[in-house]
Amino acid sequence: MKKEAIVLKYSSTRGNAEQLDSAKAIIRGLAADGGLFVPDAMPQVDMAFIEGLKALSYEERAEKVLGLFLTDYTAEELAGCVTRAYANGRFDTEKRAPVKAVGEKSVLELWHGPTSAFKDMALQLLPQLMSTALKKTGEKDEVLILVATSGDTGKAALEGFRDVPQIRIMVFYPQGGVSRIQQLQMLTQEGSNVNVTAVTGNFDDAQSGVKRIFGDKDFNEALAAKGIRLSSANSINWGRLVPQIVYYFSAYADLLSAGTIEPGEAIDFTVPTGNFGDILAGFYAKCMGLPVHKLICASNANNVLTDFLRTGVYDRQRDFFKTISPSMDILISSNLERLLYHMTEDKEKVASWMQQLQQQGRYDVGSELLAKIQETFWADWTSDEDTEACIAEVYRKHHYVADPHTAVAWSVAEKYQQATGDAHHMVVVSTASPYKFNGSVLDALGVKTQGVDEFTLLDELQQRNEDPIPEGLASLRKKAVRHDGVCAPATMEKAVMLFASADSVQK
């Protein structure tokens, strides 16, 4: 049976009536009313579609799933995008996102890309989608991506956007506020369209500076006069979320191939969560027809989502903790807004909750919606101490080295199974290579790390881990530092204008 080609449009979660093709939504990033772009319908698949993925490469699986959402891109355009994103030699495994059996559970490893963290799954593809969007919409302006980073996102964005036509990227990081490895990863970044600048302040200073620049009308007009428009690479952009839906399908297809599950069998995913992007992609997959039973949201001590998913009250007014799973140290999970929209389809309500969040720091979705959310989601959190204990135990029992983010998820998956007795097959989503957080991992394994340099730690971990040290980390030893810019929080505008005026970008 041949289905009519469906054309999806995207509009704001907050009610602005404007409807855009996906290409325009991806260039724009954020809707004009501050809301997030969402598709106006949910594509549906059946088991034949899912079983058809078994024989395909990751790139081909991505083409199929993306094609359901990015209906204004041609098949050729999507094929080009996914090839440049995933088959560019920067992933260290044929499978891109392999599923490994670890004890009774499966682990979905999302960190085989160039920066050894899961952000690569989306940030290798977003630049390709954006650059193709610029071409197909006839946009003449150049896009300047501004990023404030506390470590991981900056490097992944730099790797994704480097040398992409019609786009340049500038990353601000807090001087002294990122790990030695993270700093080296950024300062040695190659590419003709990249800039990395240290800010003499903390992450909030860098972040506020970037927000100030995005909101400065005069500044944006001055850039527009140069043919440049600003955009962002964070996970509010639809082009960053949609690539993440693919690996849920890919994991299911691989579990079918391995005979771990039967066609149609529902499975659970536990996801280490910060901005709610990764787990939301799992929710999209479920809504499309992937047999997902529960999505389990795992947090660290910054457990604002655990509280929300248990009580229906989102309250950001709380202490902020620095943990050993820093990529989840977050108090505002932006992508939750998309979930609230899909669960209610009530844009007025979503807009009012987001306004309450901004003005009062909290909102309450009420018991009816909470019950509906809890049909799909379950949540818990893990302390640093328990995360370390989990790393040690998983290593002792299974000889598998988990990074701290993955261990948070593993530990919450066990809490879930104990609390509910649920016996569906469990997939723990693994978001970082243990090498990227070698200090915390070795601490957990009882190895002395104090005063030991990063490269010695990599070697130490190598002796306990089957996987080799990722090339991107190993090669840092011999790479030249290419960026030395420093600015004060108050002079970030000047730094941006200087980079925007530089003429080194490939057209």
Ligand X SMILES: *Cc1c(COP(=O)(O)O)cnc(C)c1O
Q: Which is nearer to ligand X, 134 or 339 (CB)?
A: 339
How far apart are alpha carbons 72 and 129 in whole angstroms? 11
CB of 289 to ligand X, least distance (A): 22
Q: Which is nearer to ligand X, 253 or 408 (CB)?
A: 408
Half-sphere exposure of 460 (CA within 13 A, CB side): 20
Q: Which is nearer to ligand X, 132 or 235 (CB)?
A: 235
Q: Which of 405, 428, 438, 469 binds ligand X (CB under 6 A)?
A: 405
How far apart are alpha carbons 27 and 230 in whole angstroms? 10
Q: How many CB atoms lie within 10 A of CB 140?
A: 8
Q: Which of 23, 184, 213, 328 binds ligand X (CB under 6 A)?
A: 328
Q: By CB under 6 A, which span of 186-194, 268-276, 460-468, 480-488 interacts with ligand X? A: 268-276
In the residue annotation, 119 being an active-site residue is answered as: yes
How far apart are alpha carbons 37 and 20 in whole angstroms? 9
Q: Which is nearer to ligand X, 275 or 387 (CB)?
A: 275
Burial of 375 (0-12, 13-18, 19+ CB in 10 A): exposed
b/e code 260-298 from CB counts within 10 Å (16+ = b): bbeeeeebbbbbbbbbbbbbbbbbbbbebbbbbbbbbbb
Q: Which is nearer to ligand X, 434 or 489 (CB)?
A: 434
What's the token pair of residue 157? 């964005």
DSSP-derived secondary structure for 214-238: HH-HHHHHHHHHTTEEEE--STTSH
What is the contact mask toward ligand X in residues 278 to 297, using x (rule: CB under 6 A)?
x-------------------
Q: By CB under 6 A, which span of 5-13, 14-22, 224-232, 266-274 interacts with ligand X? A: 266-274
Q: Which is nearer to ligand X, 63 or 152 (CB)?
A: 152
The reply to whether 435 sits near ligand X by the rule CB under 6 A is: no
The reply to whether 235 sits near ligand X by the rule CB under 6 A is: yes
Q: How many residues bind ligand X (CB under 6 A)?
A: 17
Q: Which of 171, 230, 236, 432 binds ligand X (CB under 6 A)?
A: 432
DSSP class of residue 261? S
**Beta strands 485-487 and 267-272: pairing type?**
unpaired
Strands (E), 458-502: 485-487
**Beta strands 194-199 and 267-272: pairing type?**
unpaired
The reply to whether 272 sits near ligand X by the rule CB under 6 A is: yes
Q: Any residues with CB less than 8 A from the CB of 490 and at least 6 apart, and which? A: none
CB of 431 to ligand X, least distance (A): 3
How far apart are alpha carbons 164 and 372 in whole angstroms? 42
Q: Which of 182, 193, 197, 431 binds ligand X (CB under 6 A)?
A: 431
Q: Cβ distance 128 to 91 under 8 Å?
A: no
Q: Which of 124, 188, 270, 275 binds ligand X (CB under 6 A)?
A: 275
Q: Which of 63, 152, 388, 414 binds ligand X (CB under 6 A)?
A: 152
**Beta strands 485-487 and 194-199: pairing type?**
parallel
Q: Which helix (H) or strand (E) holds 369?
A: helix 366-374
Footprint (CB under 6 A) of ligand X, residues 20-49: none
CB of 117 to ligand X, least distance (A): 5
Q: Which is nearer to ligand X, 276 or 400 (CB)?
A: 276
Q: By CB under 6 A, which span of 45-53, 84-92, 275-283, 450-458 interacts with ligand X? A: 275-283
Q: Cβ distance 210 to 196 under 8 Å?
A: no
Could you say which of 64, 105, 119, 415 is catalytic?
Answer: 119
Q: Which is nearer to ligand X, 14 or 405 (CB)?
A: 405
Footprint (CB under 6 A) of ligand X, residues 162-201: none
What is the contact mask toward ligand X in residues 111 to 150, using x (rule: CB under 6 A)?
------xxx-------------------------------
Provide the annotated active-site residues: 119
Report the interface residues with ligand X, using CB under 6 A. Answer: 117-119, 152, 235, 272-278, 327-328, 405, 431-432
